[in-house]
A and B are shown apart, each in its own frame.
Chain A
Amino acid sequence: MPETILEARNLTKVYGQNTIFKNINLKVKEGEAIVVIGPSGTGKSTLLRCMNLLTRADGGQILLDGEDITAKGYNEDKVRQHIGMVFQNFLLFNHLTALDNVMIGLTRVKKMPREQAVKKAMEELRRVGLLDRADHYPGQLSGGQQQRVAIARALAMDPRVMLFDEPTSALDPELIGEVLGVMEKLARDRMTMLVVTHEMGFAREVADRIVFMEKGSIVEEGSPDDLFYHPKNDRTREFLWKITELYGKKEKDKGGAA
């Protein structure tokens, strides 16, 4: 039985009068790739941000390797070193080259000597296929390349788990593939991953488990086969039908335009 790396217990988030999500329970086990799907505005991204304490949950607990990181006085900067995060809009540091983007966490947070940090950062850039772009600034990179650098930046910290917040939804369709490719490779290497995405193909191929979230709660979870071909819940079925229809149409439009 693989051990649980990251766990949410009865997690609740409220903004003013709005409950974003309520009593979420979720376990991410070592080497597991979990994909969270669900309609927009259903709290998936907020859930992800709560998991590495970028946003504070209002109730419940989060455990990293069995330790309650939501406990009072816990060093949250330390926590985030162990939880990599990739954002929808990349959020590379605009004033730094690709190499420095990957390196800065190593030198400034981990206090790694520069030479060692350069070596490590170059390794990570190779891993995402961007060794030849090391000295490029974000402004000189395509969206797909930027997102791959962002993945390398998170990986460089040797995190226990990687969180992906809709990593491809800000990309032009022709650039999505290269990012999903990198993520697929990570999953094959048994990186522990929690991914929020609308890429159903990716979910089907790569996920060990799929979680369907709607209106702030988990409706259903299971293997891709179970969820895609034998959904137990009507809402799951409806959502999957809608999204395949929508995405199929978009693909067709793109094909027509090109």
Chain B
Amino acid sequence: MFSNFVSYIIQGTAITVAVTLVALPFGLVIGLLMALLHTYGGKAINRLAAAYSLLMRGVPPIVLLFILYFILSGEINLSPFWAGSLSLGIVSSAYQMEILRGALLAVGGGQMTAARAVGMSRLQAIRYIVLPQALRIAIPPWSNEASIVLKDSSLVYALGVPEILRRAQQLSATTQQPFLAFGTAALIYFVLVFATNRGLDYLSERTKLPTHP
């Protein structure tokens, strides 16, 4: 019976991974857009982007989750999975924006200047010169954000998405063995976070630019 229960929790892993795989890329796209607007946009756009960052980092993810699922439900009827994943993505976008903004700053204005000097437009310079370098710089802090989103994905349990935590709660109630239920959940999260960080470490190592031999 216990092995059945453990496999029930493990089935939740697929959902946890799916939520993360929606939230992270969604957050990356918005975060990147916002970071670019903040760094290269005019004064008004810059302020708007900064306000977005401040607002989204100031709202607890669970609150946004409820807003998207319950309050905006009249306008957009999102399923719990999508409402949860997109809310986490929106919150993460603000943090990813800050990571990418830092990376863009670290690349420095000189690269942009040099790219413009060979006749590139701003968009070309961003795409071919600044971003390839910024994304490299962003990998280590982004790895950190990825593990945060992975762990925050447990919040979608509040909408009844049967991911790891929600299943652990149910099993804890059924078996009266909270240690087994939550211990299994903790172990799965640990393995997922560990694998994510290791994978991104490897990516970072692989894309590292060579220096003096």
Contact = CB atoms under 8 A, between A and B. Distances in A.
Are chains A and B touching directly in their complex (CB below 8 angstroms)?
A: yes
Interface of A: 52, 54, 77-78, 80-81, 84-85, 87, 89, 91-95, 104-105, 108-110, 137, 139-140, 153-154, 157
A104 B120 CA distance: 10
Interface stretch (B8-16, B40-48, B108-116, B173-181): B108-116
Contacts of B117: 52, 54, 80, 84-85, 87, 91, 154
B210 interface: yes
Given A95-B136, A108-B128, A81 B118 contact: yes
A109 B124 contact: yes
Contacts of A104: 118, 128-129
A154 B116 CA distance: 12
B68 to A, nearest CB: 38
* Majority-rule SS of B interface residues: helix
A91 B113 CA distance: 8
B119 A78 contact: yes
Interface residues of B, number: 22
Contacts of A137: 209-211
Interface string B98-142: 000000000000110111111111001000110011001000000
B133 A95 contact: yes
A92 B113 CA distance: 11
Given A54-B113, A80-B118, A105-B120, 9 more contacts: A91-B110, A91-B114, A94-B111, A94-B209, A104-B118, A108-B120, A108-B128, A139-B212, A154-B118
Contact of B115 (A93, A110, A154, A157): A93
A105 to B, nearest CB: 4
B213 interface: yes
A153 B120 CA distance: 13
A87 B114 contact: yes
Contact of B119 (A80, A139, A140): A80
Interface of B: 110-111, 113-121, 124, 128-129, 132-133, 136, 209-213
13 contacts: A54-B117, A80-B119, A85-B117, A91-B110, A91-B113, A93-B114, A94-B209, A95-B136, A95-B209, A109-B118, A109-B119, A139-B209, A140-B212
A54 B120 CA distance: 12
A242 B128 CA distance: 44
Contact of A81 (B119, B129, B210): B119
Nearest to B211: A139
A177 to B, nearest CB: 21
A153 B116 CA distance: 13
A80 B116 contact: yes
